[in-house]
A = this chain, B = another copy of it.
Amino acid sequence: MLEALAAKPERLVIGIMSGSSADGVDACLMRLRGGGAALSWTLLGHETLEYSLKVRDLILSCAEPGGGDSESICRLNALLGELFARAAGHVAARVGCDMTAVDLIGCHGQTLRHLPVPTSITGIPVRGSLQVGEPTVIAERTGVTTIANFRARDMAAGGQGSPLLSYVDYLLLRHRSRGRLVISIGGVASLTGLPASAPPERVIGFDTGPGNMLIDSMVTRITGGREWFDRDGRYARRGTVLPAVLDRLMQHAFLQRDPPRSCGREEFGRPLVDAVLKEHPDARPEDLIATVTRFTAETIAVACRKHVMTHHVYEEGIVCGGGVRNGFLMEQLREAIPELPIHPSDDYGLPAIAKEAMAIAILANETLLGRPNSLPSATGAARAVVLGAIIPGAGRS
């Protein structure tokens, strides 16, 4: 049955992404023709299903360092499987497509823990990334073959399991004569450097540090949970950057590491916010929010300059992810790196908000075709591998 699916000249594929911001699930429906360098695509629709406060709390309680227990993780895994299946249903309905016509679903899952640096347990080096959102629930509810758990195989091959997006950026945005630098601002921010006419092994990709995660955590803490994020940077815009706090944040150990590198809530979650608040109990809230926003922009700019722009010429920056909606963050980013013209990915036919879900649909399509879809030059893995686990659809029964 998988062979028959893979043999189709084109497929309808749903991509489902629930980012580390834990604010909701994004789903898109694409028509994909072929794969690899010959892939052609059409985005048919996308949809965001916001989490209720209760669901967001459950996710964050499991995802903050030290959080979770096996029972709540087990239940959250099943619950998110149900919500992801609903998101798939919503996007299909919005497009007016019957689920029986959908060929494939790719689901990233919700990251609860990302531990890319090996630690030794009983003499065995282990690294791992834990995503929840049970894919068998998605396959059972929709009847559609579902592919999930994309990060683990790259980590098994010695990689960081991140960034996943760089391979897709290569497929969608590479250009023969222009160097392009793709900046993805989700919970975490990552870069993909696509030098003009570069083959995949010369593509650069790594996490720069926080995306929306640190700003969100600061706003949540300061407002006592009444607000989750800084809508269009309104708080930050009323504040003043505190240079001493910014300098201190720029010393963060993660920023001193060379790529390959990847990060998560472990580095830029609530513990960091708590530490900042503890050290600066009298700082004005809007100043702290302005400072972590500038910090986020600075970490991206420094990463561009230090690890990417020194090696190749880049004519344009392309920005995507939920961070695009924070106008103040975008201003700060343009200010921090004036030498790079920055455009939203929408200008390239890729809605900034949908792009991560599109990437997951495309990764699933490549896995179905048996194509290695990791990028060792970005993740540091020993070899390119076929990512993910395949759950058969409704089956022959």
Residues of A within 8 A of B (CB): 1-3, 52, 54-55, 58, 62-63, 65-71, 73-75, 77-79, 81-83, 112-113, 115, 119, 121-122, 124, 126-130, 134-137, 139-141, 148-149, 152-153, 155-157, 367, 370-372, 383-386, 388-392, 395-397
Contact = CB atoms under 8 A, between A and B. Distances in A.
Contact of A115 (B1, B71, B371): B71
A71 B66 contact: yes
Contacts of A127: 78
Given A121-B58, A397-B385, A134 B128 contact: yes
A340 B247 CA distance: 77
A70 B73 contact: yes
Contacts of A149: 136, 389
A124 B135 CA distance: 17
A77 to B, nearest CB: 6
A370 B396 contact: yes
Nearest to A66: B69
Nearest to A115: B74
Main secondary structure of the interface of A (DSSP, over half): mixed
A126 B69 contact: no
A78 B370 contact: no
Contacts of A75: 115, 119, 121, 126, 128
A152 B136 contact: yes
Number of copies: 2
B82 A124 contact: yes
Nearest to A126: B78
Given A74-B128, A372-B395, 11 more contacts: A2-B3, A68-B69, A70-B113, A74-B113, A79-B121, A82-B124, A128-B134, A135-B389, A372-B397, A388-B391, A390-B390
Contacts of A78: 126-128, 155
A70 B68 contact: yes
A147 to B, nearest CB: 9
B153 A139 contact: yes
A365 B31 CA distance: 33
A75 B127 CA distance: 6
B81 A156 contact: yes
Nearest 5 CB-CB pairings of A with B: A140-B156, A68-B70, A78-B128, A78-B126, A389-B389
A389 B3 CA distance: 16
Contacts of A112: 70, 74
A50 B115 CA distance: 27
Given A3-B2, A67-B70, A149-B136, A128 B392 contact: no
Nearest to A127: B78
Contacts of A384: 397
Contact of A70 (B79, B130, B140, B153): B130
B71 A65 contact: yes
A122 B187 CA distance: 24
Contacts of A52: 122
B58 A68 contact: no
A121 B59 CA distance: 13
Contacts of A153: 136, 139-140, 391
Given A121-B79, A127-B78, A69 B69 contact: yes
Nearest to A391: B389
A69 B74 CA distance: 11
A383 B370 contact: no
A74 to B, nearest CB: 4
A156 B81 CA distance: 9
11 contacts: A58-B121, A63-B70, A67-B70, A70-B112, A73-B113, A78-B126, A79-B126, A134-B152, A136-B149, A371-B396, A385-B395
Contacts of A388: 391
